[in-house]
Structure 1
Amino acid sequence: MDDEIICIGCGAKLQSDDPKQAGYLPASALKKAQETEDTDVYCQRCFRLRHYNEIMPVDLNNDDFLALLNSLAEKKALVVNVVDLFDFSNSLLSSLKRFVGDNDFILVGNKFDLFPLNTCQSKIKDWMRQEANRMGLHPKEIFLISAARQKYLDDLIEYLNKASQKEDIYFVGMTNVGKSTLINAIIDKMGDIKDLITTSRFPGTTLDRIEIPLENGHYLADTPGIMSQNQLATRLNPKDLESASPKKPLKPATFQIKPGNTIFLGGLGRIDFIKGDPAGFTVYAARAVTLHRTKTSNADDFYQKHVAEMLTPPTGSDYLPPLKGQEYHTDFKSDLLFGGIGFVTVPANCVVKTYTPDKIGLGIRRALI
């Protein structure tokens, strides 16, 4: 008997060696299929897609996903890039420019509800547009929403409703940005409009997309979340990711510090105050992230001794790259960014050095609050 079995969903050769490669099936399931000579077998990715409406993440170099992106330039479609407002630079799909062709694309910033109530929407949108422009991207519109809480969705839904009258809508984004949660929220909201949407999902297979048909003949398409080594989310185990990712509105924690002081954001972030007048540094991070102040002269030893114990997350021995730093001089009140964790607001005219594992997610912007 030829042991080679093909997934009837995507056409990939079934294998049990590498879960990240096409055609993966657990060894026990593959063995059973081989012994019974069952030819109607789905790989794990296609099975989860068809039965749970769940698209497994892909690497940006995944051939099927690249084929899907390349096809967008050949059709009339609106592209929606969903981004995490707490990890904007790493969740913005910077390569989108070469895939959208002449199509419009919009940016949807998720987790806006986690910012303090007095946060100005226009400031956030201006920052998003400037960062996108810096990468050569020019979104037609920018929206701020909360997918998990189904808030601030009305303007976005109205826009998508108009756009879908003439074109399909593709949602793209990195992992952990809330893309699929947003689509489910949109379905729930749009379902109140009679005959607008058919809520049953009809999964595609080869390109790993879920198409949600609309009554007008067009559809919303959910695509796989893209994994990137530039996202802290891809480096953490599920428990630590749950602790590090903001889920509730952030409560500021202000430290009165002077040059020579260091603040740790768990074991995932660090800020050294190098030069400037004594000042308040305000940390915005998930409540499960342990904050600790110490002297910079002791900081290296303190980190080595207490990471994954006093300084959490992380909580385990999973490998993380060592902390690496970037120095900044603030010309105005600024937010120091720790992508995927939060940010620290510092005054003008100070010199600081910030650290994350391998510099992942570091950045600076004019203060938004």
Structure 2
Amino acid sequence: MEDNWNTKKCAGCGVALQVENAARPGFVPEAAREREPIICQRCFRIKHYNDASSVAIDQDDFLRLLGGIGSTNSLVVHIVDLFDFEGSMISGLQRFVGNNPVLLVVNKIDLLPKVTNWNRLRNWVQKQAKAGGLRVVDVVLCSARRNIGFDRVVEAIGQLRGDRDVYVVGATNVGKSTLVNRLIADYSDLRRELTVSRYPGTTLDAISIPLDDGRSIIDMPGIVYKSRLSEIVPRETLHALLPDKPLKPLTYQFYEKQTLFFGGLARFDFTAGERQSFTAYLSSGIPVHRTKQERADELYDNHRGEMLAPPSREELADMPPLVRHNLRIPPGGPKDVFVSGLGWIKANGSTGAVVDVYAPKGVKVLLRDCIL
């Protein structure tokens, strides 16, 4: 009887179920083996206790699963996180999906101000996707959590998929499983709920959900990118890093040689340029400290993990060191300094500037056209 367990998959995360080893993914304790649907011990703990064990799928397995899409006739729904747009775009997705159409669903628009020009934002998304080598048939803006724009997502999928399967792909923690759960409610009478968690890497294998018309929604595991700050911070810091309410812009009038610290996670130096303002867009859980550049090194050495937190001093020991990124902001208009997983700092001046950004080694830092 135990041999049959390896042919079953968890209804929450998709991993193969097993009853032999509680330390391995997919374990089902004896008391839960008669439940329907069956979920693994890890999904049970996430759902009921918000406790995720550190189990992750191998990067090669991610690529293997993605590589199989190109040989299918499917609609590919790529979900990205608007707050971490460049960090959550799947690098090289176009070569994996072949000729299959790609619908780009941009989640978490509820984090932006209500006065946002949505047509301008949509044009910005299309431009950034094209620059990233991705050809999309349509762009839909939504918030799965707030149920904003979701009718348009369902409508677009209905128009584009025809009689094809739907593959849902995205990086970890972009709201993919939340959105798939809503799709199931609209397209299938199957009573099923994927595991939804704030922790990256919740879904461990491809999950196929049959639809009423004989086709399927295939929920792919989230791609893990270590270039995102949200992937490398300690779990205790993650809740502070990820915003769950609209961003409140923080604007600072700066002379050159002034510095901002974002907790102990990153540092922003206005190294050279005329007096101008900078606006930070990040989670309210990350405190910002301002100082003179000449005092910044001493301040960080003496107060990181304490005044400059999160993370705590103990948690900092497990994180990569900060490294410097020198960026030259050209004159002519506002630009964003983007730090993957942290947010962005908008340079509002038109005269140009030189800035240094310090972020944990490996985290993506770049200059882009401003999103707002």
- 1:125 & 1:362 partners in 2: Cα distance? 23
Query: Deviation digits for residues 246-268 of structure 1, max 9, x if unmatched?
Result: 11101111111110100111111
2:153 corresponds to: 156
Distance 1:94 1:70, change over 3 A: same
1:268 corresponds to: 265
One-letter amino acid of the counterpart of residue 47, structure 1: C
1:223 corresponds to: 220
One-letter amino acid of the counterpart of residue 211, structure 1: S
- 1:202 & 1:338 partners in 2: Cα distance? 33
Secondary structure at the aligned position of 1:317 is classed as helix
Determine whether 1:201 maps to 2:202: no
Q: Which residues in structure 2 correspond to 1:295-314 (within 5 Å)?
A: 295-314=292-311
Determine whether 1:172 maps to 2:169: yes
1:141 corresponds to: 138
Q: How far off is 1:113 after superposition? A: 1.0
Q: What residue ranges of structure 2 are gaps of 5+ in the alignment?
A: 10-15, 195-203
Name whichever of 111-120 and 170-179 sits farther off: 111-120
Query: Deviation digits for residues 145-185 of structure 1, max 9, x if unmatched?
Result: 11111111122110112234321111111111110011223
CA contact (8 A) 1:60 1:228 kept: no
Distance 1:146 1:12, change over 3 A: closer
- 1:285 & 1:202 partners in 2: Cα distance? 30
Secondary structure at the aligned position of 2:268 is classed as strand
1:47 corresponds to: 40
- 2:278 & 2:138 partners in 1: Cα distance? 33
1:365 corresponds to: 368
1:352 corresponds to: 355
Query: Deviation digits for residues 276-304 of structure 1, max 9, x if unmatched?
Result: 11122111111110101001111112112
Distance 1:52 1:158, change over 3 A: farther
Normalising by structure 1, report the TM-score. 0.82
- 2:287 & 2:148 partners in 1: Cα distance? 29
CA contact (8 A) 1:339 1:362 kept: yes
- 2:324 & 2:46 partners in 1: Cα distance? 40
CA contact (8 A) 1:336 1:343 kept: yes
Determine whether 1:334 maps to 2:331: no
1:37 corresponds to: none
Q: Which residues in structure 2 correspond to 1:186-265 (within 5 Å)?
A: 186-188=183-185, 190=186, 196-201=187-192, 208-265=205-262
- 2:110 & 2:162 partners in 1: Cα distance? 30
CA contact (8 A) 1:87 1:361 kept: no
CA contact (8 A) 1:115 1:249 kept: yes
Name whichever of 51-60 and 178-187 sits farther off: 51-60
One-letter amino acid of the counterpart of residue 201, structure 1: R
Q: How far off is 1:47 after superposition? A: 2.6
CA contact (8 A) 1:111 1:147 kept: yes
2:199 corresponds to: none
- 2:208 & 2:109 partners in 1: Cα distance? 27
2:200 corresponds to: none
Q: How far off is 1:122 after superposition? A: 3.2
Q: How far off is 1:359 after superposition? A: 5.0
CA contact (8 A) 2:256 2:273 kept: yes
One-letter amino acid of the counterpart of residue 159, structure 1: A
2:284 corresponds to: 287
Distance 1:86 1:59, change over 3 A: farther
Determine whether 1:127 maps to 2:124: yes
Q: How far off is 1:273 after superposition? A: 0.5
Distance 1:123 1:81, change over 3 A: same
CA contact (8 A) 2:88 2:170 kept: yes
Distance 1:262 1:51, change over 3 A: closer
CA contact (8 A) 1:119 1:368 kept: no
Name whichever of 89-98 and 76-85 sits farther off: 89-98
Secondary structure at the aligned position of 2:226 is classed as coil
Q: Which residues in structure 2 correspond to 1:13-162 (within 5 Å)?
A: 47=40, 57-62=56-61, 65-162=62-159
Name whichever of 93-102 and 166-175 sits farther off: 93-102
- 2:20 & 2:224 partners in 1: Cα distance? 21
2:12 corresponds to: none
Distance 1:304 1:146, change over 3 A: same
Query: Deviation digits for residues 48-78 of structure 1, max 9, x if unmatched?
Result: 599799997524312xx43432221121111
Secondary structure at the aligned position of 2:166 is classed as strand
